Amino acid sequence: MSLDPALAASIRLVVSDIDGTLVRNDKSLSERTRQAVARARAAGIGFTLVSARPPSGLGELVERLGIEGAVGAFNGGTLFEPGGSIVEAHRLSEADARRAVELLDEAGLPIWVFADGLWIARDDSTQHGAMERRASRVEPTIASDFSPWLGRADKIMGVCDDHALVRRLEASVGAALGSSANVVRSQPYFLDVTTAAANKGAGVEALARAAGIPLEATAAIGDMANDVPMFAPVGLSVAMGQAPEEVRAQARHVTASNEEDGVAQLLDQLVAARS
């Protein structure tokens, strides 16, 4: 899918997802991508992040990429400045958090709760736990009862390698919680439950507003269902090459995969269009 030169030349801000987008499958940031972000900044194109990760999982990337403006965690539910100062935070109601835990328990999924800067799990052997340590940069807090944190939960997550089950739960849990919650897959094996305001559509709007850049001059890039809400508001929506077909179909442009540094390729195209 070709990138319209005039549209590419108009972009002044790029908002990127992290996992499956900015970083490779082993969670590493390539030097090629780091340098592409620097070239974009030198050409007058801002760059920032919005991710399902907690704030603790964004700090190192923010530092390595030299990001100076606000970034978004928990699918845009928490916006914070480099250094950790919170700009705004939107959390689940206690009733929704409790109901989400009940529904995921009924389905037999291991559950993670993110609250008070903690990653809370019932045991230390959950699938994808090792990768979550790398992504979130925290160790799990082990607790058999989530109740003490459900009044302050930023995100409830169900973890399961049955991708079809996760897809079905995305629909059924979303229907059960209704309009007050946002229920979406951030990976084929992760089901994220956040408050309704914690969605990447609202997140990209807030980040563009914080940067002082019009949405029509903003690009958003991602790979999963939780990234699709940020495609509609922006001037340029970009899906990763390995993204599911239903995600690629909703983007205006498709770049290369995350393993092929698709973000770097896009940024270099935007820089070339401006020059």
Interval 178-226: pLDDT, tens: 999 999 999 999 999 999 999 999 999 999 999 999 999 999 999 999 9
Nearest C-alpha neighbor of 48 from the set 19, 78, 18, 74 = 18
What is d(CA 205, CA 72) in angstroms, rounded to the nearest whole number? Answer: 11
| φ/ψ bin of 150: left (φ > 0), alpha (ψ from -120 to 50), beta (otherwise) | alpha
Domain limits, CATH 3.30.1240.10, in the chain: 94-195
Is residue 226 within 8 A of residue 200, CB to CB? The reply is yes
Residue 177 carries which side chain, given as an amino acid letter? L
Architecture of domain 94-195: 2-Layer Sandwich (3.30)
Interhelix angle for 262-274 vs 31-42, to 10°? Answer: 20
- 125 or 142, higher pLDDT: 142
pLDDT given at position 275:
83
Q: CATH class for domain 5-89+199-274?
A: alpha beta
Q: Please choose, from the candidates 223, 227, 96, 231, the residue with its C-alpha nearest in 3D space to the C-alpha of residue 154.
A: 96
What 3-state class would DSSP assign to 156? strand
CA distances in angstroms from 105 to 34, 39, 102, 275, listed in the order given: 40, 47, 5, 54
Which residue spans of the chain are classified as CATH 3.40.50.1000?
A: 5-89+199-274
* Residue percentage of the chain with pLDDT more than 70: 100
Region 30-53: mean pLDDT is 97
Virtual torsion, Cα 80, 250, 179, 149, nearest 10 deg: -40
Which residue shows structure tokens 């899906």? 239
pLDDT tens digits, 97-128: 999 999 999 999 999 999 999 999 999 877 78
